Amino acid sequence: MTDTGDARALVSLTLSFRPLAAQIGPLRTLLSDLCKPHLADADGLSRLLLAAHELLENIVKYSVGEAAEFHLLLEAKATGLIVRLRTKNRAAPERMADARWRLDALAKAPNAIAHYDELIRESAGRRDVSGLGLARIPAETEMQLCYATEQDWLILTAEGNASERVNG
């Protein structure tokens, strides 16, 4: 993970909540309002919101139990902005196994876009769940996605760079 030695937090948001689909839209709006003043261009904000949306939908769809966590950190460093998104939720054993399988395959893939294209081709003939949401994050946002587990908790972290708005 990022060395935060010379970093200053521009936005730091930690949310513990019972995830509901109806909350994703308002949360996206909140994240947009918080981060937009610090980002140099619409593309940076678009990538951040896409990753946040997919991570939030992931916990809405697959978390078990009442509690889940969402963290956003937007930090300024000498080299630019660091965006870090993290979710933590409890997952059923079969969902945990599926997530690990998908995330391990993603980590092993030498090219995130080629891996995503392959998943798209494989998913075309299936009419069940998408299975594309997590792979979409590195392919379309250039953020790195990694995971950790703590017993039945799944922790996903997406991290990437963005350009900082220069005022004046």
Partner 1 sequence: MSAFSLTTVGGEGFQVTPALIDFNLRLVFTGSGDMNATGVINDYLKLVHEEAIRLGLAQVSCDFKQLTFMNSSCFKSFVVWIDTVKNSEIRYQIAFLTNPSLPWQRRSLEALRRLAANLVTIETIA
Beta bridge mates, 164: 39
133 contacts partner 1 (rule: CB under 8 A): yes
Cα–Cα distance, 78 to 67 (Å, whole number):
36
Which of residues 5 and 125 has its CB atom nearest to partner 1 in the complex? 125
Q: Where are the alpha helices (DSSP H) in the chain?
A: 24-35, 42-62, 93-108, 112-124, 133-141
Contacting residue, 62, 136, 145, 158, with partner 1 by CB under 8 A? 136
Cα–Cα distance, 44 to 141 (Å, whole number):
8
Residue 81, number of CB atoms within 10 A of its CB: 23
Q: How far is the CB of 29 from partner 1 (least distance, A)?
A: 11
Which of residues 28 and 77 has its CB atom nearest to partner 1 in the complex? 28
53 contacts partner 1 (rule: CB under 8 A): yes
Binders of partner 1 in range 73-132 (CB under 8 A): 113, 116-117, 120-121, 123-125, 127, 129-132
Pairing outcome for strands 153-162 and 144-150? antiparallel
Q: Which amino acid type is present at position 148?
A: A
Chain positions contacting partner 1, by CB under 8 A: 21, 24-25, 28, 42-43, 46-47, 49-50, 53-54, 57, 60-61, 113, 116-117, 120-121, 123-125, 127, 129-133, 136, 139-140
